[in-house]
Structures are given as C-alpha cells and as structure tokens.
Chain A
Amino acid sequence: MGDEASERGEESMRLPDIETGSSADVVTVHGNGAVPRRLMEMGLVPGVRIRVVKSAPFGDPIEIRLRGYSLALRKTEAEAVEVAV
C-alpha cells in the first residue's frame, strides 16, 4: 500500500498512532467496502483536521473530534485512516 504522505516526504501515520490530545490531518482512507466508506461519509475525507480526545476504559474504542462533533470508533477501524501530523 503506497502511503501518499510519505511519498510527499511528510511524516505519515495511522489514526490509532496519534497520541491522545493531539491533532492531525486526514490524508486518505485506505481500502474499500462498507467501513472505509462509512468513515468517509462521517466526514473523514482528505484534508479534514481531527483531534484524538480519549480512549475508552479498556483502551478501545477511541473518541475523535472532527467537523465540530465527536465520533467514537474502534482502533481496528481507525487503522484504515492515514493521517499526517
């Protein structure tokens, strides 16, 4: 899988790698099928800024903030989201 951000020489990582409290920009959502599509429909499209608010008591799911609202998702799903800090 070619990481578009790394090709541009930026530091690229996946959404679960972002530390709690930090912000990042969405680079792309990888994969096809219902889950990546739902993530995009919920507003995780390239260029949007997100902030990781917290993780749930057992470490999963995580809560992120984007477009003025809060979204909870599991780390396995968040793995599809490539971000750049």
Chain B
Amino acid sequence: MPDTAPHIPLIALAGNPNAGKTTLFNALTGLSQKVANYPGVTVERKEGGWTVGSQRSRLIDLPGLYSLDATSIDEHIASDVLRGEVAGSPRPDAVIAVVDATNLERNLYLVTQLFEYNIPVVVALTMIDVFEKQRHEIDIDKLSASLGVPVVTVNAAANRGLSELSDAVATAISFQQIPGLSVESEAENGRIFARYNFISNAVQESVIHNDQAAHGLSEKIDRVLTHKFFGLLILIAILLLVFQTIFTWASLPMDLLEQGFGALGGAVKTALPEGVLADLLVDGVIAGVGGILIFLPQILLLFLFISILEDTGYMARAAFLMDKLMSRVGLHGKAFLPLMSSFACAIPGIMATRTIENQRDRFATIMIAPFMSCSARLPVYTLMIAAFFAGQTVFGFISLGAVLMLAMYALGIVVALVVAFILKRTVLKSPPPPFIMELPPYRMPNIRTVFQNMLTRAWLFVKRAGTVILAISIILWALMYFPQQAGNSEALTRPDAEKAETMNVTESEHIRNSYAGQLGHAIEPVIQPLGFDWKIGVALIASFAAREVLVSTLSIIYNVGKDETEESPTLISAIREAKNERGEPVWTPLTALTLMVFFVLAIQCMSTVAVVRRETNSWAWTLFMVGYMTALAYFAAFVTYQGGRLLGFS
C-alpha cells in the first residue's frame, strides 16, 4: 500500500467463548462480513467494516479464547494477530475485550493477558441485564479505574451501547491509552496466580454479589437435562427430533429444487441447438451441480439446529453426557455431535468438527465421519432391498429389509469406532484429549447469530458446489459422453414412437463404448472377486460423484430410462433379470448385499472429498482417507462375497 493512502484502523475483537462476542461482532458489522481461513490453517477469520468515531475501520473477530498462551491453534493465531505477525494483517490499533458480566473473574483473565500486548484495550461488558436481574451490583467507573482501561456496557441484541463503544475505541486510539499492568513472575503458574489476584482485587472493589440469586436456573434445568438417566434419554429424543424434522421439512424444498433443476435442464435443452454444448450444460453441469444443491435444504436445517443447540448452551451438555463413551475410543466428547450429524450428511458433520480444538482429535473425527450412513446411501440400500429382499421376514415377523438396513447402519458405526481406536493409537497418536470445558448458562438463542451462522455455512457449501463439484461433474459427464459415435445422431432422425426406445438402446450401447464403459471393462478383473461385472463397474465409477448416482447410472445401463427412481419396478425387474454372457444372473441376493457393504464403507462422494481437503487443508490426509476407505470397502465386500459363497449362499 502506498504511504499516501489513508490509514484504516484495524480493531480486534477478543473474548471468551460464550461471552457474546459473535453477537456483538454481528451487530457491529452487519452484513459487511467476510469469512475466510487464516493462511495455512483451518481457523476461521472473520472481518467486517465498522465505523469508529467517525472513521471507517476494519473489525477482525478473533477466535473464542480462554487465554493467550498459545497452547491451542486458536490461541496461537490470536496471539499472532495481536502482534501483527499474520500475513496481510497489520498490528491492530486497538482491541475490544468482550467480557461477560455474569462470569466476570474468568472473563477478565484474558483481559489481563491482552494488557501485555501494548495496544489500547477497551472492555465491552455484555450480559449486564442478566447480571442485574440476578440482583448483583456493579460500579462500572470503579471497575474501569481498577483495571486501568475504559469499560463500556453493551447489549448487542438490543443495539444498546454500540455508539458509546465506538466513541471509547476512537478515544483510546487517539490518546494511545495503553494499559499499564505487567505481571512479573519467573514461573508460569506464578503469573497466572498473580493475574487472578489482580482480578480478584478489581472485582472486589467494584462488584457487590448477591449470594442468594447465583446460578439458580441453569442448575435447575441441568438437574433434568444432564440427569444420569433422563439426560441420556432426552439427548436421544432431541437428536431423533432434529433428524426427523430435517427429513420431513427438507423433503418439500428438496423436491422443488429437483423439479426446478429438471425444468431448467429442459428449458436449456429447448433453447439451445442439440449438440455437445446442450448435453454438457444439461447432463453435466445442471445435473451434476443440481444433484448436489438439492441437499441444501437439509444442510440449512441441520445448521439451524446446530446453531440453536450451540447458542442455548445445550451442545456443551451433550459433550458432557457423551464424553465417557467417546473417550473409550480416544475421541473427545465434542466429536459426538459431528458424528451424529453425519447420518444426515457427512459434509455438515465434517464442517461441525471445527468445535474440536485439538487437531489430531479433530482429524480422527473427520476420518471416520463418512462411515455414518448418510441420506445419499438410502436410495442404494432401498433399491437393493426392494429388488432382492422384499417381502422376506426374520423369525416370521421382522422384515428382513429393516434388519438389513439396521445392519448397514451398525456396520458403519462399528467400523468407525474401530478405525478411530486404531488411528488414535497410530498415525494420530496423542494422549486422550483433555476435557476441560465450560458449561455455559442456558440462554435464549440470539436469532441474528443463529441465522448468520447458518447462512455462512450454507454459503461455503454453495461455493463448493460451484467450483470443485462443477469441475468433477464435467469430467464424469465427459467420460460417459465421449467418444461420440455416428449411431447417436441417426437415432434422433427416426419417428417419435420408435425414437424413445432406440435412444435408450443406443444410450446403453453408447455407455459400453464410452470412456466410462471402457473403464468399467478395465476394472472388471478387479471387481470380479466381489461378484460385480463391468456394468456395475461403470455405476461404481459414476457413483464416485455421489452415491445416489448409482441408481440413475444403472437405469441408463439397463435401458430403463433416466427418470427411474429406486422404487420403480422396471429397474428392479431389469436388475433381477440381467444375465451375463453365460446366461447366469448378474445379480444375486449376495451381490446385492456385497454392494450394500461396499457402499457403507466406500467414500463415494466428491463433495465429502472436497470438504475434507478444505477442512484438513491437506491433500495427504484427503488421499489417505480416500485410500483407506476404498481399501476397507473392497476388503469387506470381498469377505462378504467370497465368505457368502463358501457358506453356500448365492
């Protein structure tokens, strides 16, 4: 930047988790937020515009922190930002310390550490309404005097105190009010003790606590919600309710989106002359990106619920309840929710692992999240069960289909736990993560925070659909489309009645000769021990894009037309009756079971691969995941098929 450019002040926003920092940041910056990652790490960097005094400034939201001792990656980044050591970000001109009045002493600990950075500090005191409702009293001027920095009370949800905060920050910058506390002690423990002594004195001088009121409501709620028995029941009930709601509420918008993309495809087809361009746009771009974007309603809803659970304080309780079980396989209690979310879709689940501080624990959770049977596997399970296990029962009254479905979910969970156990003792070896976690008081969720949270996540998802997924869709389309043969255009000139059938015949003929078909033939020797032929091979290759693509690809290969769904009788009868060159059936119940096992364990979802790349920031981990999951899926399918044959099944 040239020296003549006006200096735009940079102001950092620091505070404990749950102190109301996000709400304040949203209130100050409104819609001018930019969310990105810090270079080289997956810590989120949020920045927005804010007017300080009368001057335009940049407000940077630091991650939620309890201290600045650089033990976690968040603390490390925050400390670097405050020293101006992050690329593209100068040293901040001032820092706003967000302090929760109801939890004053622990919140002020971070403030005493901020004093050591030689930057003007302004304390923004939040939750003052709750604090006063508990009939405590606080003398703001005295607190400000004993801390040695300005203190402003704010209520971000009601937009109160924001202009006062702006003025205080402007004054602090122009008068360079650098706080004066420095804690001298040789030992680290001695410094912590000295800071807390300073805080205790400051609080004693300015606050009169009402001992009667304290912490009543949250503790009462917790008597039920973290009850040894009812707590677990309620947790399960809440999760069931969330997933049930996601599936029912999302189905209508998902159908609408699907129809919308179908109509869009149709419109493009009529508007454009027939040819490669129209096919590329309709079958490649619109079908590929649309196929992923129809999951957007589910993702929005899941993040709506996650944001609400987080904002109310329940999420910490869920981790508290589940930590013992999770720690048995070496995971953190916080891994529970991302894993549960992955039953809907691994993408939001993997994105939700950001709450896990330790990188190794977070990576271990990411590596096993795709084993949770997501909604995209359902069409595959449904098709296989409908074709080969329909109407059969176990013990005369339990439907075999339901048992198989449950078995597939259980297989995913068991494998995930075993893999986590192994990973945490080998490549991700680290002591069991410490579990030292605040249980914040229950609060009504802030609507603005909840929605902003949800939209930020959703936008990340849409952006990915428009880039990585678009590229891979085009590649897959090209593999199924080329090389083009003369026969295809001939079919188009025939009369309409004949045309439909001929097109389907030529389409499957076309797939046989396409690069995808050639690939299917090429991998046939590899998948033959699993009982799969080249046609299943083509479907497997295509379903790398997304699992449910298997159904539509099989429909194309077996000439049943593209509009078939997993329950359509023609696709079911087509795969039941399919014969190989020797006249034997291609599909048997054992083949179907093998395919289901393969789908439980294989990572056939390019969006998941893309999100893992993004969240781990490492191709090595991404490829490791693709490699080990594929190997595991192959091995399990091999054991299923060959073992089944040895036992006399077919």
Taken together as a complex, chains A and B put the C-alpha atoms of A71 and B67 apart, in Å, by 15
- Using A42-B66, A72-B437 as known contacts, say yes or no to A54 and B215 having CB atoms under 8 A apart: no
Partner of B435, one of A34, A45, A57, A61: A61
Whether, in the assembled complex, B161 has its beta carbon less than 8 Å from a beta carbon of chain A, the answer is no
Taken together as a complex, chains A and B put the C-alpha atoms of A85 and B188 apart, in Å, by 26
The answer to whether A38 and B189 touch across the interface, beta carbons within 8 angstroms, is no
The answer to whether B435 and A41 touch across the interface, beta carbons within 8 angstroms, is no
Whether, in the assembled complex, B106 has its beta carbon less than 8 Å from a beta carbon of chain A, the answer is yes
- Of all chain A residues, the one with the shortest Cβ separation from B104 is A68
The answer to whether A53 and B219 touch across the interface, beta carbons within 8 angstroms, is yes
- Using A45-B196, A57-B324 as known contacts, say yes or no to A74 and B103 having CB atoms under 8 A apart: no
Whether, in the assembled complex, B105 has its beta carbon less than 8 Å from a beta carbon of chain A, the answer is yes
- Of all chain B residues, the one with the shortest Cβ separation from A70 is B439
Whether, in the assembled complex, A63 has its beta carbon less than 8 Å from a beta carbon of chain B, the answer is yes
Whether, in the assembled complex, A2 has its beta carbon less than 8 Å from a beta carbon of chain B, the answer is no
Residue among B109, B214, B441 with the highest chain A CB neighbour number at 10 A? B109
The answer to whether A72 and B435 touch across the interface, beta carbons within 8 angstroms, is yes
The answer to whether B71 and A34 touch across the interface, beta carbons within 8 angstroms, is yes
The answer to whether B437 and A67 touch across the interface, beta carbons within 8 angstroms, is no
- Of all chain A residues, the one with the shortest Cβ separation from B227 is A57
| Listed stretches B32-40, B228-236, B418-426; interface member | B228-236
Whether, in the assembled complex, B320 has its beta carbon less than 8 Å from a beta carbon of chain A, the answer is yes
The answer to whether B214 and A68 touch across the interface, beta carbons within 8 angstroms, is yes
Whether, in the assembled complex, A56 has its beta carbon less than 8 Å from a beta carbon of chain B, the answer is yes
Residues of A within 8 A of B227 (CB): 57
- Of all chain B residues, the one with the shortest Cβ separation from A35 is B434
The answer to whether B192 and A45 touch across the interface, beta carbons within 8 angstroms, is yes
The answer to whether B106 and A69 touch across the interface, beta carbons within 8 angstroms, is yes
- Taking the nearest CB of chain B, how far is it from the CB of A1, in angstroms? 15
What is the total number of residues of chain B having a CB less than 8 Å from a CB of chain A? 45
Taken together as a complex, chains A and B put the C-alpha atoms of A42 and B189 apart, in Å, by 12
The answer to whether B106 and A43 touch across the interface, beta carbons within 8 angstroms, is yes
- Using A68-B104, A68-B215, A73-B435 as known contacts, say yes or no to A37 and B189 having CB atoms under 8 A apart: yes
- Using A69-B438, A70-B215, A74-B435 as known contacts, say yes or no to A40 and B189 having CB atoms under 8 A apart: yes
- Using A57-B231, A63-B226 as known contacts, say yes or no to A40 and B192 having CB atoms under 8 A apart: yes
Interface of B (DSSP majority class) = helix
The answer to whether B323 and A60 touch across the interface, beta carbons within 8 angstroms, is yes
The answer to whether A77 and B436 touch across the interface, beta carbons within 8 angstroms, is yes
- Using A56-B320, A70-B215 as known contacts, say yes or no to A38 and B436 having CB atoms under 8 A apart: yes
The total of Cβ contacts below 8 Å across the A-B interface reads 122
The answer to whether B193 and A46 touch across the interface, beta carbons within 8 angstroms, is yes
The answer to whether A67 and B106 touch across the interface, beta carbons within 8 angstroms, is yes
Residues of A within 8 A of B103 (CB): 67-69
B342-384 CB mask vs A (1 if < 8 Å, else 0) is 0000000000000000000000000000000000000000000
- Taking the nearest CB of chain A, how far is it from the CB of B410, in angstroms? 21
Whether, in the assembled complex, A9 has its beta carbon less than 8 Å from a beta carbon of chain B, the answer is no
Partner of B324, one of A38, A48, A59, A77: A59
Partner of B436, one of A39, A48, A69: A39
The answer to whether A37 and B188 touch across the interface, beta carbons within 8 angstroms, is yes
Whether, in the assembled complex, B218 has its beta carbon less than 8 Å from a beta carbon of chain A, the answer is yes
Q: Which of B157-186 contact A (CB under 8 A)?
A: none
Q: Which of B418-457 contact A (CB under 8 A)?
A: 432, 434-441
Residue among A68, A71, A73 with the highest chain B CB neighbour number at 10 A? A68
Q: Which of B201-255 contact A (CB under 8 A)?
A: 209, 214-215, 218-219, 222, 226-229, 231-232
Residues of A within 8 A of B321 (CB): 56-57
The answer to whether B325 and A71 touch across the interface, beta carbons within 8 angstroms, is no
Q: Which of A16-61 contact B (CB under 8 A)?
A: 29, 34-43, 45-46, 48, 53-54, 56-61
- Taking the nearest CB of chain A, how far is it from the CB of B52, in angstroms? 30
Q: Which of B322-346 contact A (CB under 8 A)?
A: 323-325, 327, 333
Whether, in the assembled complex, A65 has its beta carbon less than 8 Å from a beta carbon of chain B, the answer is yes
Taken together as a complex, chains A and B put the C-alpha atoms of A39 and B599 apart, in Å, by 44
Residues of B within 8 A of A56 (CB): 226, 228, 320-321, 323-324
Residues of B within 8 A of A65 (CB): 215
Residues of B within 8 A of A35 (CB): 434, 436
Taken together as a complex, chains A and B put the C-alpha atoms of A68 and B130 apart, in Å, by 13
Residues of B within 8 A of A53 (CB): 219, 222
Taken together as a complex, chains A and B put the C-alpha atoms of A74 and B316 apart, in Å, by 14
Whether, in the assembled complex, B490 has its beta carbon less than 8 Å from a beta carbon of chain A, the answer is no
The answer to whether B438 and A43 touch across the interface, beta carbons within 8 angstroms, is no
The answer to whether A71 and B438 touch across the interface, beta carbons within 8 angstroms, is yes
- Taking the nearest CB of chain A, how far is it from the CB of B227, in angstroms? 8
The answer to whether B434 and A58 touch across the interface, beta carbons within 8 angstroms, is no
- Taking the nearest CB of chain A, how far is it from the CB of B458, in angstroms? 31
The answer to whether B67 and A61 touch across the interface, beta carbons within 8 angstroms, is no
- Of all chain A residues, the one with the shortest Cβ separation from B203 is A67
The answer to whether A41 and B66 touch across the interface, beta carbons within 8 angstroms, is yes
Residue among A38, A41, A65 with the highest chain B CB neighbour number at 10 A? A41
The answer to whether B436 and A42 touch across the interface, beta carbons within 8 angstroms, is yes
Taken together as a complex, chains A and B put the C-alpha atoms of A34 and B47 apart, in Å, by 30
Whether, in the assembled complex, B307 has its beta carbon less than 8 Å from a beta carbon of chain A, the answer is no
Residues of A within 8 A of B501 (CB): none
Partner of B320, one of A36, A59, A63: A63
The answer to whether A68 and B434 touch across the interface, beta carbons within 8 angstroms, is no
- A sample of 9 more A-B contacts (CB under 8 A), given A60-B327, A69-B106, is A40-B189, A45-B192, A57-B231, A57-B321, A57-B324, A69-B215, A72-B436, A74-B323, A77-B435
7 CB < 8 A contacts A-B: A34-B71, A38-B66, A45-B192, A61-B323, A61-B333, A74-B434, A76-B432
